[in-house]
A and B are shown apart, each in its own frame.
Chain A
């Protein structure tokens, strides 16, 4: 690896791979830093190594990733798998860890394409062994062919839940129940957005298709579920919930939950990019223009890390970011950039058609985002409860960062990734203010763990 590149792309998912293939075609020096062992990101995880038999069960949308990865491999971009980024600043210095050694490289342009993470939603019992995120189940399936053994309960809201149920069905896994916590009132509030969604009818027909197939296979699907709880002595033993006004219980040693996805913003925050609260997507995201330019010159964001638009949209956003980087580097004129980008701009807008409907339909209710249960652990690392957070607000700590200082929530190893959103919602709920005004935890380097030894061995002369 060199210590300087014209373009460094962080992340090897659809946005990063598309950006790299686009930009490296113009002969610039380009490196892709990827935490994973192979290209694909989370959506196309293990796409190059997955056995055919397993790939078929995962479905056609997953197989799309093969072409994307192949085009990337054919490009001149240098690929660095197993590389963690622990720091990024406005001087465009990137702190990385590779083979347990830390170093700092620089770039003229940086594209952050580090994708999304599942929205963590604290509910009673969510820290127990046996409760995992649906995406975790999917990653186990994609990377290792590991699937639930004794049946599984799926609960939450959003398209991924249906997809995973469908994938498990094809793998012969018993889905004991699919508990949809989407409030029934969302069906009505999302209706005004429906006409535009028809323009992207392939997504709608796919969703309906999954549902019909699950129904035919006899998978119990319950809608309008509330009061979800994971119970068990030390490990999950039963899933409890309310449905049609009745308390119900399903015995299960495994519960996979999904409450939508949110941008992974720790790196863009550490770099100092401006972020804003997106009311429709219920999350923080970096501010950017159509090309992905942030407020920091030279830092571009692309893909779901810039705002949730899905895997296909991420490819277009990646290419747009690639063209923009080439323009900034002087490899393309503005006219050339605009001409080359025209199709991706159109396709990216087309991909947006379905989103306002999905965002309204799968809007997570406040009762889940800001749990009223005082005993529920919100910060998984420091084991701070919702009650402690509400108490801190009562004592006058009226924004996320003040609550963090007072309670230690967000100060554990995950650095607030799992509780940041929930804390903002709970503080807003308790103080009667808007979530957007609560602020997000201040993200600072190191955004990924680094030992003092690794820091001490940083060779400054070589890196600057």
Chain B
């Protein structure tokens, strides 16, 4: 009786605040949106002027800085450097908090500089970054190509190009982009780029041995160092060097820059090592970014400890956010959603569908692993074949994947 389900939701939606925690509120509202019935969430007219309805995410300093940037651009819309600087700032903020709104603001600021006759190569590179963030890889590559046609000396464009090609699993092309980058970047950036690509082309061990000492001695830009250490940590993990991976992760965390990708990757490392309580400690307050919330919920689930009663709430929030992404036609979260479906919702078939769709878009070792795990859980060994062929072709080495390639036995996540 689909209708009754809708009416139950409508009834629940009537006073969600009283019946359910704030976590479920979103889920109920969404069900109401997507189901047949109208939305009955009870909007109210507050009576107290002092009631806080929303907290803004940035500090006062950042807000004033951004306001000044927008104001300057409003007065001088013709000044390219104002637009580019503001877009860069938005992208930085978007990355720090994994907040897509900032990427959208960046795109809006860049818009006048993306159309002839004012097409600007640097603006194209920045938009490519925004597009990459949305996993719109082909549009991002098109922007980068257009930028490099106008100015082949844009190191940033080569680097971003390498990153996208690597994510797509086209390691030889990524390597070519890194070699082109060589002339326009610092020695460290160039070395990290080249060795990262080589490590995925069957030379993991030698790339690690070349890069390790270089990074250990490197000084300089904290962002560059964080990136280099992170690449090494992931490389050590692929080689099964757990202790070294851990020390690279810790070094990256110590660089004093907040980076959500680092937190997520390190949390995965800890989950693999069965150190869930450390994941909870690391991510306890990181509920705004979906990937971190997913890792937190996975850790809480593993602990099944009365001290973590928030697991159900976190799982419900995740379900609501994935549903919200689907409602707006966004597919960039499919990898995480597959993991959610497999580990938390316990729906191996759905997890497999998502992992397959994700594999069609991006082919990093983690994506390969998602597909292998979902295929095994769903009892569909045939579904894993594209990954096996990919590993055979690229000679990708990854200790975690090797464990999944042996016949079914142990449980991993």
A binds B: no
Contact residues of B with A, CB < 8 Å?
A: none
Contact residues of A with B, CB < 8 Å?
A: none
